[in-house]
Amino acid sequence: MMNKRTFLKLFAAVIGSRFVAPMIAWAGGEKISNWAGNIEYSTDRIQSSASAEEVRDFVRKQSRMKVLGTRHCFNTIADSKDYLLSVKELNEAVAVDPAAHTVTVDAGITYGKLSPVLHEKGWALHNLASLPHISVAGACTTATHGSGEKNGNLATAVAALELVTASGDMVRLSREKDSETFQAAVVGLGALGVITKLTLDVQPSFQMRQYVYERLPLRQMADHFDAIEGSAYSVSLFTDWQKERVNEVWLKCRMGAQAFEAKPEFFGAKLATKNLHPIAELSAENCTEQMGVPGPWYERLPHFRMGFTPSAGKELQSEYFVSRKHAVEALLAVERLRGRVGPHLMISEIRTIAADNLLMSPCYKQDSVAIHFTWKQDWPAVRNVLPVIERELAPFKVRPHWGKLFTMSPKDLRSVYGDRLEAFIKVARNFDPGGKFRNDFLNTNIFGA
């Protein structure tokens, strides 16, 4: 096995270069892969649509298909054996409604493209994921999240959406008018149809500062978890679970009334004196500005900058959600697995997310903590470790991230999602009675569960 030093050196060499999207040929009978390269989609039949009308035409002609966003999922949720429809080109419209405090966007737009436009018009989103390169529709449909105990996941910003259903009809759902159907549709796991537009809540634009502290003792984390999480708008704890400490604490602070005062020490951790990458050995060149330098929300909320790759793509990811009230117990349970986890791990991240009311969200009606793992790209090894983590977290009714790797069984999923799963399936069947948008992932984990 490659030792950690050699691995990080190789990894650093690749990510040091400027980001070039790993686009693979779309046509010519070649199959394409997801962003990380660990999944090759099962068909080479790929079409791209640039308008809602084109999407409707395409959907009418297919008996089975899946939509592709920016291909950032690590599992087969986006895969199809039949046809893939890319909405990458559906990325133009950005219409702000200042009275309603909303913006309406094309589904395929990335947060990286949307955010500066929004900021220029004086508006902001409530939160962003670790990277801005992902599509809005793809992110919301898998309940993608950032951090912040008062911040719901990115899907909680959705106020309305437009969907092409299996029949090719266009349906508009809004939070205001379609409460139950809407709550099922927003984190729709790609099972209801092709989302063509989303309307998102916005708020007046704001400035932020980001500070990083190093070496938070594990005991401090356990004893003061609530105070630590409550100390900034968005808090991320990065750890390799070794040496009884959290390696880095990233505090993303809104400027204004209750501005964070960056003292040299934070619960025993030390204020960093230079920008850091979550993996301290790697260059921080591709990371958002730290050291308290003020900047707009969209240049501080993600960890990684838009123009650069957030990683080599040579990685795997898993993430597990448990109720916030079990946060410390669950974190200590994972820490006890450090010997099993350590050899395969690049870094873990701990984030908090506010409760929501979206049926298939892992944070449904419970404030949550998310325990994330960035793994070296060695699936046979990772596949052996995941059940160990899942078993350890099972007493806390753990839920996996829909876009990342997990080995929990359909039965486990049914037991944690309960009646909500049935309610979701009912709505999905209503929009897609023949299963046009289903694939093996959905058939196994949702419809067969």
Ligand X SMILES: Cc1cc2nc3c(=O)[nH]c(=O)nc-3n(C[C@H](O)[C@H](O)[C@H](O)COP(=O)(O)OP(=O)(O)OC[C@H]3O[C@@H](n4cnc5c(N)ncnc54)[C@H](O)[C@@H]3O)c2cc1C
- Where along the sequence are the contacts to ligand X (CB under 6 A)? 35-36, 66-73, 77-78, 87, 107, 129-131, 134-135, 137-139, 141-142, 144-145, 189-190, 194-195, 310-311, 401, 403
* Residue closer to ligand X, measured from CB, 104 or 130: 130
Nearest approach, Cβ of 77 to ligand X (angstroms)? 4
Paired residues of 238 in beta bridges: 248, 349
Nearest approach, Cβ of 166 to ligand X (angstroms)? 12
Provide the token pair at 407. 């080995």
Nearest approach, Cβ of 449 to ligand X (angstroms)? 16
* Residue closer to ligand X, measured from CB, 141 or 288: 141
* Residue closer to ligand X, measured from CB, 60 or 336: 60
* Residue closer to ligand X, measured from CB, 137 or 267: 137
Nearest approach, Cβ of 67 to ligand X (angstroms)? 4
Provide the token pair at 305. 């900058």
Residue 327 identity (one-letter amino acid): A
User: What Cα–Cα distance (Å) separates residue 116 from each residue in 112, 119, 198?
Assistant: 7, 5, 18
130 Rama sector, left if φ>0, alpha if ψ -120 to 50, beta otherwise? alpha
* Spatial CB neighbours of 23, under 8 Å, sequence gap ≥ 6: none
**Closest chain position to ligand X (CB):** 138
Nearest approach, Cβ of 257 to ligand X (angstroms)? 27
Distance from C-alpha of 437 to C-alpha of 449, rounded to nearest angstrom? 17
* Residue closer to ligand X, measured from CB, 36 or 46: 36
Side-chain-facing half-sphere of 418: CA atoms under 13 Å:
6
Q: How many residues does the chain have?
A: 449
**Phi, psi angles (nearest 5°) of residue 136:** -65, -45
At residue 111, the 3 state secondary structure works out as helix
| Structural contact between residues 208 and 253, judged by C-beta atoms closer than 8 angstroms | yes
End-to-end CA distance of the chain: 37
* Residue closer to ligand X, measured from CB, 15 or 267: 15
Residue 353 identity (one-letter amino acid): I
Nearest approach, Cβ of 396 to ligand X (angstroms)? 19
Nearest approach, Cβ of 142 to ligand X (angstroms)? 4
Q: Write out 380-437 in H/E/C secondary structure.
A: HHHHHHHHHHHHHHHHHCCEECCCCCCCCCHHHHHHHHCHHHHHHHHHHHHHCCCCCC
* Residue closer to ligand X, measured from CB, 105 or 267: 105
* Residue closer to ligand X, measured from CB, 399 or 401: 401
Nearest approach, Cβ of 261 to ligand X (angstroms)? 27
